[in-house]
């Protein structure tokens, strides 16, 4: 985390977003009723779905903050991916509902232009939702929280959809009433796109997808900066929600004792975790191996390649190699 108070924001951000979304539902719903704008009704319904998304996010954050136990030795962090997926499903359902209603109104052919007061609802919605997105996005990125980021994108989708509503309202007010329904269709498509993206990211997280290459490079370089580490022979990582779970194999001098190796393990855990914002020492699993010089390593690579390439090839009997 960049700042100490980021953890405080973790508990405040969703409550703030819930309160603002509740106000937006009342504000846009009232203006939609007064103006007769179908697009603004869809936009208000989108904000109502945001409140449900906020409740899901708050629940997931509470569960994910529970300590590890016997049944969950890696913690409860992955519940945030379930929350992200549920938010995505809500957006997909809401988007389909908006799309169907807009198409029905176009096919009915009885579209009436909305009143100009609807413009106020769209403008306020764009401004407020963008501000909420920026605040939640900041907190979500600093804490590496999938559910907070999903909630942030939920509000960003609301801002995008309000832009479509604004354009449609302007078109309807200048003499093209169908623009209001077309704007509602644009809203639906944006909402559907973001819902599908959230579900895809949640699926990747639940299937233990690897973090970004830059994150792996940081771990690799942090380990190599430790004087006792001669090489990093294996590195795997997966997301556990807000934090990563890492398996790291380091090569050290073969002549060291077991006790010295245990001390080096502790040093590796401490130093690598210090340099990674979303990695705890207990989630870094370190395995040590004897350091093998380049010549012996190349021999092993050749033997391994021959064994895979030629099925009938037999590996020579094990003998002493020039390994120090």
**Burial degree of 245 (CB within 10 A; 0-12, 13-18, 19+):** buried
CATH value of 213-309 in 3.40.5.50, 3.30.70.1350, 2.40.110.10, 3.30.70.980: 3.30.70.1350
d(CA 81, CA 231): 34
Instruction: Tell me how far apart the alpha carbons of residues 265 and 256 are, in angstroms, rounded to a whole number.
Output: 12
Stated pTM of the model? 0.61
User: DSSP of 39-60, one letter per residue?
Assistant: HHHHHHHHHHHHHHHHHHHHHH
Mean pLDDT of 132-159: 82
**CA torsion angle 160 162 164 169 (round to 10):** -170
pLDDT in tens, 61-113: 777 777 777 777 677 777 777 787 887 888 888 788 878 877 887 787 666 77
- pLDDT tens digits for range 274-298: 877 777 777 788 888 887 765 455 5
SS3 state of residue 231: strand
Give yes or no for residue 313 having a pLDDT over 70. Answer: no
Give the residues across from 288 on adjacent strands: 250
**Cα dist. 252→39, 183, 223, 258 in Å?**
65, 63, 11, 11
User: For the segment 216-225, what is each residue's pLDDT rounded down to a tens digit?
Assistant: 888 888 888 8
Residues shown for the chain: 324
Residue ranges covered by each domain of the chain: 6-206, 213-309
Q: What is the mean pLDDT of residues 250-254?
A: 84
SS3 292: coil
Question: What is the rounded CA–CA span in Å between residue 71 and residue 79?
Answer: 14
Question: CA 320 to CA 250: how far, in whole Å?
Answer: 23
pLDDT tens profile 32-60: 888 887 777 877 877 777 787 777 777 77
Domain 6-206 has CATH 3.90.1640.10: no
């Amino acid at each position: 985390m960049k700042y100490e108070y980021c953890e405080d924001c973790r508990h405040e951000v969703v409550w703030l977003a819930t309160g603002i979304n509740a106000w937006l539902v009342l504000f846009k719903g009232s203006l939609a009723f007064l103006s007769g704008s179908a697009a603004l009704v869809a936009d208000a319904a989108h904000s109502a779905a945001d409140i449900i998304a906020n409740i899901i996010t708050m629940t997931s954050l509470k569960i994910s903050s529970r300590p590890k136990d016997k049944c969950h030795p890696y913690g409860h962090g992955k519940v945030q991916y379930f929350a992200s997926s549920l938010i995505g499903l809500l957006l997909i359902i809401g988007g389909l509902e908006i799309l169907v209603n807009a198409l029905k109104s176009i096919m009915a052919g009885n579209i009436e232009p909305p009143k100009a007061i609807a413009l106020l609802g769209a403008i306020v919605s764009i401004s407020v939702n963008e501000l909420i997105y920026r605040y939640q996005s900041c907190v979500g990125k600093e804490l590496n929280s999938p559910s907070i980021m999903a909630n942030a994108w939920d509000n960003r989708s609301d801002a995008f959809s309000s832009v479509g509503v604004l354009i449609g309202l302007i078109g309807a007010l200048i003499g093209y009433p169908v623009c209001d329904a077309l704007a509602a269709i644009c809203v639906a498509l944006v909402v559907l796109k973001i819902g599908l993206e959230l579900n895809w990211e949640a699926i990747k997280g639940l299937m233990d997808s690897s973090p970004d290459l830059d994150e792996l490079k940081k771990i690799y370089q942090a380990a190599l900066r430790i004087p006792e580490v001669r090489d990093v022979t294996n590195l795997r990582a997966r997301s556990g929600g807000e934090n990563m779970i890492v398996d790291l194999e380091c090569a050290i001098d073969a002549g060291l004792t077991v006790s010295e190796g245990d001390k080096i393990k502790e040093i590796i855990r401490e130093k690598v975790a210090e340099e990674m914002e979303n990695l705890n020492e207990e989630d870094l699993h370190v395995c040590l191996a004897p350091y093998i010089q380049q010549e012996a390593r190349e021999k092993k690579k050749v033997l391994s390649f021959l064994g895979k390439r030629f099925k009938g090839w037999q590996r020579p009997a094990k003998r002493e190699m020039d390994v120090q």
